[in-house]
Amino acid sequence: MSTADVLANGDQPPRDEHEVRREAIAWYVRLCSGEATDADRRAWEQWHRHPDHQRAWQRIESIRQSTQRVPAHIAAPTLQAPAKGRRRALKSILLVASTGSLAYVAYRGASDDGVWRSWVAEYRTGVGERRSVMLTDGSRLTLNTDTAVDVSYDATHRLVHLWTGEILIETARDALYADTQGRPFVVETAHGSMRALGTRFTVRMHGARTDVAVLADAVEIRASDLPASPIILQAGQRASFTRSHIEMPRPADDSMAAWEHGSLVVDDWRLGDVIAELDRYRPGRLSCDPAVAGIRISGAFPITDTDKALAVITKSFPVRVTRFTRFWVGVRPL
């Protein structure tokens, strides 16, 4: 390399290729760990200034990109099937599923009580996944991203316990008990229970509270510390509750369940809230700079492809997206 080239690099001398490669790999390994700090990111930015480092980083980027073109729930089980005897792929899918990547179902306690076999099923989705299951009575349960539920049916109850995430319930008339009111359909969370009064509604575990939105008919909510004072939420209403308090109902509409069809529909939301919502659907960390978090925004965004959603946002607003790795993405002012 000539002196002129060296000067063009901005008084940064060229570096040994092997060393640069080692450094680039070490950086990437650090940034993907899930424990990288803002200080790490700043140090990486410093390192990335050197043109030789940028070239090395481009190769790392191209590796990263090649692993991102197929959705994880397809790529992971396909590639994880052992190279010898891929025929056992199905087995490995089940293995992956049991650790949370794909929804799975496990039956237990199938004792026949004469009328109805009581059973328990667990369903899970990973980040970015959705899944719809038909329950034995014809009710439909749809799991949004990163959700875990247990479903247990017996002769007297239809019970769904939501551990984490968000679900959409569409109850069916209980055919087996058509002559009576049918078995009650109840959703439980850490904060209380919701009894469906023949209905379509969403339930979301949202940190220290549970959010319910009723889209058809009605739902009766009981906070777990106030079992004697239930409130009834009608179609078009939503409410949040904790163990000891149920908030005043607010209006709700079908957009609350737009995720069922792969969209996030927002009307006059803060950009920061939209980004926080999109973050639920992708692995890693998606953050919004406070300087732009207050921008008001309306529209529909694809949650199945959050990169596309981000592209739409950057086209419409004075913001840009910065990526350090796939798992570390920020929305910042232009």
Partner 1 sequence: MSVGDLAKTDAVRVLYSDHHRWLQSWLRRKLGCTHSAADLAHDTFVRVLASRDVFGIREPRAYLSTIANGLVTDLFRRRELERSYLEVLASLPEPQMPSPETRALFLETLIAIDAMLDGMKPMVRQAFILSQIEGLTYAEIAARLRVTKRTVANYMAAALEHCYLLAP
* CB proximity list for 57: less than 8 A, separation 6 or greater: 24, 27, 48
**Least distance to partner 1, CB of residue 161, Å:** 22
What end-to-end distance do the CA atoms of the chain give, in Å? 36
Which candidate, 238, 330, 204, places its Cα nearest to that of 278?
330
Q: What are phi and psi of 160, to 5 degrees?
A: -120, 120
Residues contacting 273, CB < 8 A, separation 6+: 266
Extract long-range pairs of 56-61: CB within 8 Å, 24+ residues apart: 56/20, 56/21, 56/23, 56/24, 57/24, 57/27, 59/24, 60/24, 60/25, 60/28
Q: Are 258 and 300 in contact (CB under 8 A)?
A: yes
Q: Which is nearer to partner 1, 93 or 169 (CB)?
A: 93
Single out the residue of 44, 52, 53, 93 in contact with partner 1 (rule: CB under 8 A): 93
Q: Is 15 in the site for partner 1 (CB under 8 A)?
A: no
The residue within the footprint of partner 1, chosen from 42, 55, 86, 173 (CB under 8 A), is: 86
User: Which listed residue (81, 141, 233, 329) binds partner 1 by CB under 8 A?
Assistant: 81
> Among 1-9, 83-91, 232-240, 286-294, which window interacts with partner 1 (CB under 8 A)?
83-91
Residue 28 is a binding residue for partner 1 (CB under 8 A): yes
Give least dist CB 266 to partner 1, A. 23
> Do residues 42 and 27 make contact, with C-beta atoms less than 8 angstroms apart?
no
In whole angstroms, the minimum distance from the beta carbon of 102 to partner 1 comes to 8
Element of type H or E holding 275? helix 271-279
Q: Which is nearer to partner 1, 148 or 295 (CB)?
A: 148
Q: Which range in 192-200, 225-233, 245-253, 278-286 contacts partner 1 by CB under 8 A?
A: 278-286
CB of 303 to partner 1, least distance (A): 13
- 302 makes contact with partner 1 (CB under 8 A): no
For residue 98, state whether it binds partner 1 (rule: CB under 8 A): no
Instruction: Read off the tokens for 38.
Output: 């803002």
CA distance 156 to 115: 10
Q: And the tokens for 229?
A: 């004072």
Applying CB under 8 A, does 67 fall inside the site for partner 1? Answer: yes
CB 140 within 8 A of CB 158: no
Question: Which residues in 119-148 contact partner 1 (CB under 8 A)?
Answer: 126-127, 130-132
| 218, β-bridge pairs | 197, 234
Q: Which of 57, 52, 42, 104 is nearest to 77 (CA)?
A: 104
Residue 308 touching partner 1 (CB under 8 A)? no
Q: Is the dihedral of CA 44, 49, 51, 54 positive or negative?
A: positive
153 binds partner 1 (CB under 8 A): no
Among 43, 89, 120, 265, binds partner 1 (CB under 8 A): 89
The reply on whether position 64 binds partner 1 by CB under 8 A is yes
Binding region for partner 1 (CB under 8 A) out of 72-80, 152-160, 165-173, 312-320: 72-80
Q: Which stretch binds partner 1 (CB under 8 A): 63-71, 175-183, 196-204, 211-219?
A: 63-71
The two most distant CA atoms of the chain are separated, in Å, by 92
Q: Applying CB under 8 A, does 80 fall inside the site for partner 1?
A: yes
Residue 21 sits in the site that holds partner 1 (CB under 8 A) = yes
Binding site for partner 1 (CB under 8 A): 21, 24-26, 28-29, 32-35, 59-60, 62-64, 66-67, 69-70, 72-83, 86-87, 89-90, 93, 99, 101-102, 126-127, 130-132, 282-284, 326-327
